Amino acid sequence: MSGVCPGCTGTNRRTVLGPTDPLPADILHVKIPETMDAIHGPGVVYECEHCDVWYYLTMGETLLFEPAVVEFFRDHGRDLIAEPLWTLPWCVPASSREYATIVTTDPLRVTVRILLDDETLAVTIDEKLQVEDTTRTADTPSTVAGDAG
């Protein structure tokens, strides 16, 4: 996410994709659907400008180091950095679309809901992955049922 390729330490290009944006043309040779929505919904593709490494992050994954999210976990007595990524349903590609809501498409605005205990943190980010708004709300027992986070 810092713009450095994990494969060769070259420079990464970042492309934020909306729900129906096609994958960048130079990585379409990989056997995947033509839109990220067919896989996981809105997300971010990072492509190295020097080697063939590219990867996809869900909108939730882009928030892993966001101070408001780290503080939310801390307030619940948990260390976000110590949490295994696969236990965070708002980050896991297979379930992330359930936690990400597209607010607007032009410009792209996405709200990611993060549930912990009896509270939800809603983080709205823009097309540059900048946080525009955070809202914390108390949940009723029926809204947190089944939350693995």
Reduce the DSSP state of residue 116 to 3 states and report it: strand
- Residues across the chain: 149
- Cα separation, 121 vs 131, in Å, equals 13
Give the pLDDT of residue 81: 92
- Cα separation, 121 vs 106, in Å, equals 24
| The pTM of the whole model exceeds 0.85 | no
Give the pLDDT of residue 144: 46
Give the pLDDT of residue 40: 54
Give the pLDDT of residue 74: 97
Mean pLDDT split into 10-residue runs, the chain, 149 residues: 84 81 62 51 82 84 94 96 93 84 89 94 93 90 49
List, edge to edge, every strand of the sheet that includes 119-126. 100-105, 108-116, 119-126, 131-138
Copy the structure tokens of residue 54: 């590219």
Give the pLDDT of residue 28: 52
Give the pLDDT of residue 57: 86
DSSP letter at 130 equals -
